Amino acid sequence: MQIDARTLEQGTTIEADVCIAGAGAAGMTIALDLLGSGLSVVLLESGGPARDDQNDALSEGRMTGIDTWDLRRMRIRALGGTTGHWNGWCRPLMRQDFEQHDHIPYSGWPLKYADVVPWFRKACRTLEIGEFQWDADERARATGKRLLPVSDIIEQRYYQFSPPTRFASKYGPVLAQASDVRVLTFANVVDVRLDDSRRRVDGFLCRTLTGTTFRVHAGRYVLALGGVENARVLLASRSQQREGVANGHDVVGRYFMEHPHYYRAIGGVHPSALDLGFYRRGESDWRRPDGSAVQMLGALGLAAEVSRRERLLNFSATFQAPGTAPSTPAPVVEDRLPPAAAQALVTRGRGGYETTLLTVRAEQSPMPDSRITLTAEVDALGMPRVALDWRIAPEDDVQMRRAMVLLARELGAKGLVRLRVPGDATRFVWRQDPGGHHMGATRMGRDPKVSVVDVNCRTHEVQNLYISGASVFTTGGDSNPTLTVVAFAHRLANTLRSERRQERSTG
C-alpha cells in the first residue's frame, strides 16, 4: 500500500512492527525481505515517485573539507533513492577489506568476509548481475578474453554491471501491492524520540513539506537514509539529549570516508599488439532471464599479501577505453604521447605503440576528524543542515604512490605497459575526486567508543534502532559500495526476521 503522507491528518500516529526510514536500495531491500514475515512494515520516503527540486533541496549542505560533489545532486530523495541515477558498478568489499591491518588505523570489521558471502550472493540477484564469482581467470576463460600475463603480485579483478536496477520501477510496485507494507511518500523523519530509559526508540517524529506532522510508533526502527542523512538525523535528534541519539561517545558523523577517485591519473604507453580486451567494458558470459548480457570490466590491484606486506591501502586501476570522452573533469596529463611521436615505437623500433590512461579508485584510512557535523542553518523542515569535512590522511598519499610504483614495476618487468605516476618521489599527487560513496559516519564495530552500530547493525546505545547503508562501513575498501550495502540490508532483514521468530517462540 502506498500513502501520500501529505494527506494524513495532523498528529496521526501510525503503528507498525518495523519502521524503515528511507526507500532507497537499503530500505527497499529490507522491506522486500520482510514481506510475508508476519511483520507489519512502514517504509518512509522523503520524496515521491519522481525527483523534484523542493525535496532535493533538503539535502543541501556545506563542504568544509575536500570539495566533493554537491550533496543536493548526489542523493535522490524519491522512491528508489540514489538507484535512480546509479551507474550500476558492482564489486563486493574484498576479504582483506574486512580484516584488521596495523597500517590502517581503526580498521577491522567485527565480522568476516565469509559471514557476508551468503548475503552477497543474494544481493547479486537483487541487483541483477551475474553470479557471486570474482575469479578473473575463470571469467577470462569463460569469455575468451586474455588477462595480462602478470605475476601474482598483481590481483586481477573485475566489476560487474547492474542494468542498473532502478529500485523504484523494479521493486516499487511489489511493495505498493503488499498488504503488510505501507509506503509513506513525502514523509521525513525529523526527530528520533526515545522512551524514558533512553535505551529504546519510542517513535519517529515525521513531517511533510506541507506542514503535516505525524508519528510512527514501531517495535523496531531502521535508518536507511543514505551515508550522510543517517548521521544527520541522529545528530539532529537532540530534543531529549544534547548530543543526539546513539552518540554518547561522540562518534556519529566521524570517520566519514569516500573512495578517492583519481581519474586518468596514470599515464601509460603500451605496444599496439597488447590485448586489453578484458579491461574494456564488454559482455560477460552471464545472461539475465530477459537474455541481456551482464557487462563486466577488468581491473588491476595488488594481491592482498602484497598490500599487507607493503602496508598499503586497497585500490583498483582501470584502463580508459580508447576514444571515450571524460565524463568527469580531471587534470590534463601533460606528457601524453603526441601523435607526432608515433614513429617512435614503444617496442624499441619494433611495432606500434598506444597511449592510455588509468583511473584509480582507492581506499582511504578512516579518520575521526573526517566528519559530518550540523550547522546553524536549517532546511525547510527546520532540520539543521550538515557540514561535510571530508579529509584524507597525508599517509594515504604516500601509500598510494608506493602502490602505483609497485604496479608500474610489475607491468614494466613483464614488458606490458610503462606507467607515469604523478606526484613527487614521496607522495602521489592528483586531484581527489569523490565517487559519491558516503561511508563510515555510523560505523560498525565492537567498541562503542569508536563505532555506532554492532555486528548486527544495531546501535550500541539504543536497543531497537538499526542502521543500514554505507554509513555502517568500518572501512571502505575500494569497491563501489552498492553491492555491499544491499548485502548488509539482506542480512539486517534476516536479523529482524530472526528476532521476530525468537520473540514468538519465547511468547
Partner 1 sequence: MTSLLRREFLLRALAACGTVAYASAGPRGAEAAGAVPGAARSISAGYFGDQVDAVRVIGEAHLRQLGVEAGDASIRSAARTTLAMIERARDQPRAIRALEQAVRQDFERGRTVQVEGWILSKTEADLCALSLLEDDLSR
CB of residue 362 vs partner 1: minimum separation in angstroms? 18
In this complex, which beta carbon is closest to partner 1, that of residue 6 or of residue 427? 427
Stated as kind and residue range, the H or E segment containing 71 is helix 71-74
Q: Which of 90, 154, 218, 346 binds partner 1 (CB under 8 A)?
A: 346
Residue 312 touches partner 1, criterion: CB under 8 A: no
Minimum distance from residue 365 beta carbon to partner 1 (Å): 24
Q: Let me know: does 343 contact 134? Beta carbons within 8 Å.
A: no
Closest CA to 230 of 219, 240, 216, 244: 244
Assign 3-class secondary structure to 204-273.
EEEECCCCCEEEEEEEEEEECCCCCHHHHHHHHCCCCCCCCCCCCCCCCCCCCECCCEEEEEEEEEEECC
Closer residue to partner 1 (CB): 274 or 374: 274
Nearer of residues 382 and 415 to partner 1, judged by Cβ? 415
Closest C-alpha to 153, from 288, 8, 17, 306: 306
Residue 330 binds to partner 1 (criterion: CB under 8 A): no
141 Cβ partners below 8 Å, 6+ apart? none
Q: How far is the CB of 29 from partner 1 (least distance, A)?
A: 44
Instruction: Determine, following the binding rule CB under 8 A, whether residue 271 of this chain makes contact with partner 1.
Output: yes
303: CB partners within 8 A, 6+ apart: 152, 153, 154, 155
Query: Is there binding between residue 337 and partner 1 (CB under 8 A)?
Result: yes
Which grid coordinates belong to 444?
560498525
The dihedral through the CA atoms of 418, 421, 409, 359 has a sign that is negative
CA angle in degrees (0–180, nearest 5) for 420-422-427: 130
Give the residue, chosen from 9, 144, 323, 348, that forms a contact with partner 1 under the rule CB under 8 A.
Answer: 348
Q: How far from 293 is each of 170, 320, 382, CA to CA, in Å? A: 18, 21, 47
Considering beta carbons, is residue 287 or 409 the nearer one to partner 1?
409
The C-alpha cell at 147 is 588477462
Min dist. Cβ of residue 96 to partner 1 (A) = 22
Of the residues 174, 341, 378, 380, which one makes contact with partner 1 according to CB under 8 A: 341
Note whether 351 binds partner 1 by CB under 8 A.
yes
Q: How far is the CB of 405 from partner 1 (least distance, A)?
A: 6
Return the residue of 1, 50, 273, 380 that touches partner 1, per CB under 8 A.
273
Here's the x/- map for partner 1, 403-422, by CB under 8 A: it reads as --x--xxx-xxxxxxxxxxx
Counting residues that bind partner 1 (by CB under 8 A) gives: 40
Binding window for partner 1 (CB under 8 A); candidates: 24-32, 75-83, 345-353, 498-506 = 345-353
- How many CA atoms within 13 Å lie on the side-chain side of 114? 0
Pick from 149, 289, 291, 329 the residue near partner 1 by CB under 8 A. 149
How far is the C-alpha of 76 from the C-alpha of 71, rounded, in Å?
9
Residues in CB range of 259: below 8 A, 6 or more apart: 361, 362, 363, 364, 434, 435, 437, 439, 476, 478, 480, 481
Binding mask 18-37 for partner 1 (x = CB under 8 A): --------------------
Q: How far is the CB of 317 from partner 1 (least distance, A)?
A: 14
Q: Does 425 bind partner 1 (CB under 8 A)?
A: yes
Interface pick for partner 1 out of 137, 334, 504, 507 (rule CB under 8 A): 334
Comparison of 153 and 176: residue with beta carbon closer to partner 1: 153
Please give the Cα distance from 302 to 404 (Å, whole number).
Answer: 9
347 lines the binding site for partner 1 (CB under 8 A): yes
240: cell is 531529549
Q: Name the minimum Å distance from CB 194 to partner 1.
A: 56
C-alpha cell at 280: 574494456
Containing H/E element for 120? helix 113-126
Residue 351 CB, shortest distance to partner 1, in Å, is 7
What is the per-residue burial (b if ≥16 Cβ within 10 Å, else e) of 458-474?
Answer: bbbbbebbbbbbbbbbb
Residue 402: helix, strand or coil by DSSP?
Answer: helix
Which of 34, 39, 274, 392 is close enough to bind partner 1 by CB under 8 A?
274
In the complex with partner 1, the residue whose CB is nearer, 224 or 276, is 276
25: three-class secondary structure by DSSP: helix
339 part of the interface to partner 1, by CB under 8 A? no
Residue 343 CB, shortest distance to partner 1, in Å, is 8
Q: Which stretch binds partner 1 (CB under 8 A): 124-132, 184-192, 277-285, 338-346?
A: 338-346
User: Of 211-270, which residues contact partner 1 (CB under 8 A)?
Assistant: 267, 269-270
The C-alpha cell that represents 25 in the structure block: 536500495
CB of 427 to partner 1, least distance (A): 12
> What are the residues binding partner 1 (CB under 8 A)?
149, 267, 269-271, 273-274, 334-338, 340-341, 343-351, 353, 405, 408-410, 412-422, 425
